[in-house]
A and B are shown apart, each in its own frame.
Chain A
Amino acid sequence: MSPQGPPRLDWIADFALRISFGEHIDAEVSRRVAQAYAALSNPRTSGNRSDIPGIAAITPAYTSLLLKFAPDFDPLVSEARVRDAISHSDVTGSVSTRTIAIPVCYHEDLAVDLSDCAASANMSREQFVERHAAAEYSVAFLGFTPGFAYLLGLPTELAIPRLDSPRPSVAPGSVAIGAEQAGIYPFASPGGWRIVGRTPLRMFDARRNPPARLAIGDQVRFRPISRDEFDQWEDRDVP
């Protein structure tokens, strides 16, 4: 038996319905979000268009799903069908069981905030890297920018506040920590999270199917690689 109550549905715009599964970020709430997402989205079509008529897009987040409806929809019918679909989602919603290894180079040239992070955690750089790479993460959702995965599972002793003012540009592939959150920047973008490493993998590529390397529910592990391995990888991955 689940200790949580039923999810809460709120219309937050004339065409947008939010489904909330809890008030706090935790693995159990995240699992319920992923199950409901799987139950509402249609794996047979590209993107996340649902089987339920009128759903144009579904946006998962830490504790909620946001459903956007196409112009011609009946709010009462849609709401009832959504309730019905998610009420059985612990049975019908098949969540990813993949574990994906992400190679990460923790070399000081690339891990520009690693020394600060280690100092703040009262660890050596090596200890910090060891803890960071030993942990098992799970993808709560992708958001902010295409392919940016918000990861749960950062060991609490590695948490560190964001930078006071964001960097104007963070290198693509930067593996980062923002307070209790962990993530990977897929593109060069402004960012206030602390950079502790970099992956040579291309995290998002619109020419691939699926375009994002990670998906909601994936288990993720960081595999430390040397600077040489990183440089060679980069040569292979950039066409």
Chain B
Amino acid sequence: MCHEGLRVVQPGMYATVQDLGRSGWTNIGLPAGGAADARSLVIGNRLIGNTDHHAAIEMTLIGGEYEFLADGDIVLAGAPCTAAVIHNEGHSIAVSRYEPIEVLRGHHLRIGRFDRGAHAYLCVRGGIAVEPVLGSLSTYAPAALGGYEGRALRAGDVLRVGDAAPAPSRRISSALRTLLDRQFDFTPLRVTRGPHLQFLGLAAVTALLAGDFRVAARSGRMGIRLTHTPILTPVGGRLITEGMFHGAIQLPPSGEPIILGVDHPTTGGYPIIAAVIRADLHRVGQLRPGDRVRFAEVSFNAARALAREEQATVNALCPAHFTDTKTSEK
């Protein structure tokens, strides 16, 4: 079923095993989690012949180094980065993002500091194999659950890789590359209006939409903290705790918004000023400290049309493999 596939030589800044997450457990306080940038993971998996739900290594800001313990096919997806495969004889070959390559037992993959973006994915043909927990292989570190021993990867960890994948690797088209490169353009994140405007006041939304924000250092999979131009809130404080979701923009009394990430607390008491639309959630997963962020408002129906269009474009440029029966659930 699976074999020892690779050894972590050095895990970069923070690396975890992630798939598309476990939806359907928010009733017990567990968020869906999964890849911070699910779109990049899906495309990486499709290029390497995997199903959308195969797990990969999600790396953060710095890639690290991995040694292959068996021959296999890999591809890098997500954040632009410099990477090379070092052969046993010592010479190295540059690895380009989204171009599947063959590696041999004993080869090392070295990935540097990312040029842009926060998360890159090391997808391996057959997928990273760990025990599923509540229907997913994803690491949810706050509860030490899923992934590799419920935690971030450490030097010396040996990861197993699945033997089977439904399809061969494929080449990326230039149209798909153009789409993927746009992910890192500086354009406003599109949002819909939040539910607590009676509490926050319309002026707060106006300020959000006019604001020019920076991503703060204390950001991660739970949420992206924004600083630079605090919004003045007419009323401070909390509301009655209610359900939260990926992409919700909370406005705490400090006036500095937080965009909730994939590992967000399932409930919270800060008012929601706006919500990033589904079609732009993959961009939230690529925000890194220091990035500029602006917002633009769209209607709910426009947001839904954009989500359908986004999904159709990705599927047209890089179709899923047919054996993938779970795709429609996420």
A interface, CB within 8 angstroms of B: 10-16, 18, 23-25, 37, 41, 46-49, 56-66, 68, 70-72, 75, 141-148, 150, 187, 189, 204, 206-207, 210-212, 215-216
Contacts and interface: CB of A to CB of B under 8 A. Distances in A.
Given A146-B30, A148-B29, A16 B275 contact: yes
Given A71-B278, A143-B265, A59 B307 contact: no
A119 B135 CA distance: 47
Contacts of B248: 12-13
A75 B300 contact: yes
Given A62-B240, A66-B243, 7 more contacts: A14-B277, A14-B300, A57-B24, A66-B244, A206-B146, A211-B25, A215-B28
Contacts of B142: 145, 187, 189
A143 B300 contact: no
Contact of B26 (A23, A25, A68): A68
B330 interface: yes
A197 to B, nearest CB: 21
25 contacts: A12-B195, A12-B272, A12-B275, A14-B192, A25-B240, A47-B24, A47-B134, A57-B26, A57-B32, A61-B267, A64-B243, A70-B328, A70-B330, A71-B307, A72-B308, A75-B300, A143-B29, A143-B265, A144-B29, A144-B265, A146-B30, A146-B145, A189-B142, A206-B133, A212-B29
Contacts of B245: 13, 16, 59, 66, 68
Q: Provide the main secondary structure of the chain B interface.
A: mixed
Contacts of A66: 26, 242-245
A48 B242 contact: no
Contacts of A61: 240-243, 267
B27 A60 contact: yes
A142 B303 contact: no
A18 B195 contact: yes
A18 B194 CA distance: 11
B320 to A, nearest CB: 13
Given A14-B304, A18-B195, A61-B267, A47 B25 contact: yes
B185 interface: no
A63 B29 contact: no
B307 A56 contact: no
Nearest to B310: A71
